[in-house]
Amino acid sequence: MEDLKEQFAEGKAILIDKPLDWTSFDVVKKIRNNIKIKKVGHAGTLDPLATGLLIVCTGKFTKRIEHYQGLEKEYTGIIELGKTTPSYDLETAFDKEFSIEHIEEKNIMDAATALTGEIQQVPPVFSAIKVGGERVYNKARRKENIKLDPRSVTIHEFEITKISMPEVHFRVVCSKGTYIRSLARDFGVMLESGAYLKSLRRTKIGEYSVDDADDIDQFIKTLNNQ
């Protein structure tokens, strides 16, 4: 047991399949408390309502966090058409409804194509970006008026894998800094309707796959039983 913990304390990259409703920091905290070292961090936040691959670095591997953050990401998920929320996902309640009767399969495919490549994207106001030294989600929860500037991101692939109206299933490969929630919102606008991100799973970070990741509870159990 001590040998394994010592290895992680010295430095490793751990692939974790983040559970639903956990924050990325929840995973870091759980590992930190079990290895009993302070030097633990993750390489790219996943929202609580998203699942999938989270790279957690310990010890000297925390120096590699920036490298992992810069790698391209792959996600799968579901966009639901015809409704919007202020957070662009299910963190907040629905605020508007739109018609989807005019939307055909070709429109959906064309919208995905139009949103592929280098695009300008406005981050969600319910995000961890700092403005004036404060996370903007705190300002958003106080219903303050927030204006975020668009950022250049690259959508390498935007594949529609299934259409079951009003749900559109997708796979996206994208650059660092991409908000899939904002992509869902823009997708709805492109279709002259509304949309929000119903579910999201990160499947890859660079060459690292969620297929090789550990369940957090199983990882802690292994850590404590060897």
Please say if 47 is a catalytic residue.
yes
Catalytic residue among 47, 89, 95, 217: 47
Query: Residue 122's domain spans which residues?
Result: 73-205
- Indicate if 217 and 117 belong to the same structural domain: no
Residue-wise pLDDT tens digits, 11-68: 899 999 999 999 999 999 999 988 888 899 999 889 999 999 999 999 999 999 999 9
SS3 196: strand
- Indicate if 34 and 49 belong to the same structural domain: yes
- Indicate if 53 and 150 belong to the same structural domain: no
| Amino acid in the structure at residue 79 | I
**CA 112/CA 174 separation, integer angstroms:** 13
- The CATH number for 23's domain is 3.30.2350.10
- Indicate if 196 and 111 belong to the same structural domain: yes
Residue-wise pLDDT tens digits, 173-222: 999 999 999 999 999 999 999 999 999 999 999 999 999 999 999 999 88
Cis check for the bond before 166: say yes or no (omega within 30 of 0): yes
- Indicate if 20 and 123 belong to the same structural domain: no
